[in-house]
Structure 1
Amino acid sequence: MKFEKIGLEGVKVDLGRLDDLMYEHGIIREEQWDYERVTYDKKFELKEGVFYLRIQGYAVEGDVGAHKAVIELMTPLLGKHYYPHGVEYGDEEQFPNSLVKQCESILSDIKKKIESIVQ
């Protein structure tokens, strides 16, 4: 599921600030990066299954490995994990309404905080 109406796609923010902001919301980067891209995930374990809110971005300036980069965010995703195959993000997936609303709230808060940083 794509969160296209949140307005995070195309937003540019400093990597250090982005790491801190995501961490405040329990969304972590861990080792999911290379020198040009980052991936942040938040795991939700519900009775309906395991789900991941994923926010990806790529460096438009600098180097992620050096911790000095400006990241342009992509459209956030919500996916369901299927063992052993991985996470599926397709339109045919079913997501609990309460989870979708919780993710929208988190993303909205992130957008507001990024806007206050960028301006």
Structure 2
Amino acid sequence: MKFENVGLEKYKADLNRLDEIMEEHRLIRAGQWDYDRVTYDRKFELKEGVYYLRVQGYAVEGDVGAHDAVIQLMTPILGKHYYPHGIEYGDDEYYPEYLVKECESVLSAVKKEIESFAV
């Protein structure tokens, strides 16, 4: 499921500040990066299953590995995890309404903070 109405994809942000903001909202980058891309995940373990809110981005300047990059954010997505195959993001997946609302709230808060320092 894509969160196209949030508008994060129109922002570019400094990687280090972005890491701080995402972590404040429990969106963790951990080892999910390479020198050009980043992925922030927030895991939701619910009675309906395990879901991941994912915010991805790519470097438009600098190097992620050197912690010196400007990241272009992409449209956030929500997916359901299926063991052992991975995460499915399709529109035919079931996403509990309360989870979707919580994700929208998290993304709105992230956007508000990013707006204050976006490049």
TM-score higher than 0.5 here?
yes
- What residue number does 2:59 align with? 59
**What stretches of structure 1 of length at least 5 have no aligned partner?**
none
- What residue number does 2:115 align with? 115
Deviation (angstroms), 1:118: 2.5
SS of residue paired to 2:10: coil
Equivalent runs, 1:1-119 vs 2, <5 Å: 1-118=1-118
Please, what is the CA RMSD of the aligned residues? 0.9
SS of residue paired to 1:102: helix
Measured in 2, the distance between the counterparts of 1:116 and 1:71 equals 15
SS of residue paired to 2:99: helix
SS of residue paired to 1:4: coil
Measured in 2, the distance between the counterparts of 1:99 and 1:88 equals 16
Measured in 2, the distance between the counterparts of 1:22 and 1:114 equals 10
Supply the AA of the counterpart residue of 1:97: E
SS of residue paired to 1:59: strand
Supply the AA of the counterpart residue of 1:106: V
Supply the AA of the counterpart residue of 2:24: E
Measured in 1, the distance between the counterparts of 2:44 and 2:72 equals 25
Post-superposition Cα deviations, 1:22-75, rounded to whole Å, max 9, x if no partner, equal 000001000000000000000000000000000000000000000000000000
TM-score, normalised by the number of residues in structure 2: 0.98
Contact (CA 8 Å) 2:25, 2:106: kept in 1 or not?
A: yes
Supply the AA of the counterpart residue of 1:78: L
Measured in 1, the distance between the counterparts of 2:68 and 2:10 equals 19
Contact (CA 8 Å) 2:55, 2:75: kept in 1 or not?
A: yes
Supply the AA of the counterpart residue of 1:14: D
